């Protein structure tokens, strides 16, 4: 019998699919330091971001055939080394794309209408300073604004769909993708369809012309947006980062927020998670969330199902 360790959990829908295929799936978490002793008994491991599958653990598990990552990023897995050893490495890029894109716009709308501030002050001052809060939190609309999308893969393209639907001018930027056909689907309608062909723009043009910039790129060796890039942006531009902590220079961002060069930031990811800089959490121009990009009921189900389908495709039904 195929044995699978879902060490960071798996949605019940994915678990059921694997069990119906005849696999043994263990969901009780094994501490990282105990994995070299216990993981060799398994044929596959399913992880999220918490469990690390590095070279030393791979070497300790000669029977391991699959490492499945629920989510997009593979930072916690030594992917190249695993594949050298003949181990398949899967992730689930399709499953959470819409969830992350919707979170991007949650932060954008919060910052545009100052909801992040209203939600802090209304509970304590709403009864006594209602009119002052109303005046202080006046905002602006997204329609007509320019949305720069850095990284035009699945999540970037989902973000483009929403931006187009809200009447924004969308400027994507990507090192590999030159254009994409964005299909705008009208809910529950078979009679209406729209395809928008978007060409990618030059990096400096995206920086200079965007009112909002959202990042959808993997981790790199240095921040993609820092002091030099902020200087090229419009005064008051807003940054959204739901990608990875470290893609934005947080110290430079704080300086730019204080000077007014950057008008606001929506942050779902941070350097040093799970202990973000307190200055970012407290800042009145920052809308924050706790790395919840894929944390929707629909996305979690889809992630579990996608992982299960990949594993079943490899091993077959038992």
- Is residue 5 within 8 A of residue 43, CB to CB? The reply is no
Establish whether domains 3-93+297-315 and 97-288 are of one fold.
Answer: yes
pLDDT at 283: 98
| Separation between Cα atoms, residue 165 and residue 194, nearest integer Å | 11
| Separation between Cα atoms, residue 139 and residue 113, nearest integer Å | 4
* Residue 154 is among the residues annotated as catalytic for this protein: no
For residue 59, the tally of other CB atoms under 10 A from its CB is: 11
- Classify strands 212-215 and 146-150 as parallel, antiparallel or unpaired: parallel
At the topology level of CATH, where does 3-93+297-315 sit?
Answer: Rossmann fold (3.40.50)
| Separation between Cα atoms, residue 262 and residue 280, nearest integer Å | 13
- ∠34-39-45 over CA atoms, to 5°? 120
At the topology level of CATH, where does 97-288 sit?
Answer: Rossmann fold (3.40.50)
- Is residue 183 within 8 A of residue 193, CB to CB? The reply is yes
| Separation between Cα atoms, residue 253 and residue 262, nearest integer Å | 8
Name the token pair of 108.
Answer: 């954008």
| Separation between Cα atoms, residue 135 and residue 143, nearest integer Å | 22
| Separation between Cα atoms, residue 101 and residue 298, nearest integer Å | 13
Task: List Cα–Cα distances, 249 to 50, 90, 156, 173, 221, in angstroms.
Answer: 23, 30, 21, 19, 12
pLDDT at 68: 97
Q: Which residue ranges of the chain lie beneath pLDDT 50? A: none
3-state secondary structure of 32: helix
| Domain positions in the chain | 3-93+297-315, 97-288
**DSSP assignments along 134-151, one per residue:** HHHT----STT-EEEEE-
Backbone phi, then psi, for 42, in 5-degree steps?
A: -110, 150
Of 11, 216, 244, 283, which one is the catalytic site residue?
244
Backbone phi, then psi, for 246, in 5-degree steps?
A: 100, -15
| Separation between Cα atoms, residue 277 and residue 281, nearest integer Å | 7
3-state secondary structure of 21: coil
pLDDT in tens, 25-35: 999 999 999 99
Of 102, 113, 255, 291, which one is the catalytic site residue?
291
* Residue 298 is among the residues annotated as catalytic for this protein: no
53: nearest Cα among 87, 96, 94, 14: 87
| Separation between Cα atoms, residue 292 and residue 1, nearest integer Å | 35
* Residue 19 is among the residues annotated as catalytic for this protein: no
3-state secondary structure of 284: coil
Query: How large is the angle between the packed helices 97-112 and 154-165, nearest 10 degrees?
Result: 50
Cα 239 to its chain centre, rounded Å, is 14
- Is residue 129 within 8 A of residue 136, CB to CB? The reply is no
Query: How large is the angle between the packed helices 97-112 and 115-125, nearest 10 degrees?
Result: 60
Contacts of residue 276, defined as CB under 8 A and 6 or more positions apart, other chains included, come to 245, 267, 270, 288
Name the token pair of 47.
Answer: 């992880």
């Amino acid at each position: 019998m195929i044995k699978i360790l879902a060490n960071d959990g798996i949605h019940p829908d994915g678990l059921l699919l694997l069990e119906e295929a005849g696999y043994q799936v263990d969901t009780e978490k094994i501490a990282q330091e105990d994995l070299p002793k216990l993981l060799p008994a398994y044929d596959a491991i399913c992880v999220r971001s918490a469990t690390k599958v590095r070279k030393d653990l791979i070497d300790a598990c000669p029977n391991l055939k699959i490492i499945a990552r629920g989510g997009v990023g593979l930072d916690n897995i030594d992917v190249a080394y695993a594949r050298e050893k003949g181990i398949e490495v899967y992730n689930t890029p399709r499953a959470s794309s819409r969830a992350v894109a919707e979170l991007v716009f949650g932060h954008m709308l919060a910052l545009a209408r100052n909801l992040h501030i209203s939600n802090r002050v209304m509970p304590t001052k709403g009864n006594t300073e209602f009119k002052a809060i109303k005046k202080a939190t006046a905002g602006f609309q997204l329609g007509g604004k320019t949305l720069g999308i850095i990284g035009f893969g699945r999540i970037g393209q989902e973000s483009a769909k929403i931006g187009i639907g809200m009447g924004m001018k969308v400027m994507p930027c990507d090192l590999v993708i030159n254009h994409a056909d964005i299909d705008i689907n009208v809910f529950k309608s078979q009679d209406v369809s729209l395809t928008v062909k978007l060409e990618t723009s030059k990096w400096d043009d995206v920086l200079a012309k965007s009112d909002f910039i959202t990042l959808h790129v993997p981790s790199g060796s240095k921040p993609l947006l820092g002091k030099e890039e902020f200087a090229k942006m419009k005064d008051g531009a807003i940054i959204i980062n739901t990608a990875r902590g470290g893609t934005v220079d947080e110290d430079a961002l704080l300086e730019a927020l204080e000077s007014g060069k950057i008008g606001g930031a929506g942050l779902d990811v941070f350097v040093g998670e799970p202990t973000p800089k307190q200055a970012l959490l407290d800042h009145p121009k920052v809308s924050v969330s706790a790395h919840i990009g894929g944390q929707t009921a629909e996305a979690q189900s889809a992630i579990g199902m996608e992982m299960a389908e990949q594993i079943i495709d490899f091993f077959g039904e038992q």
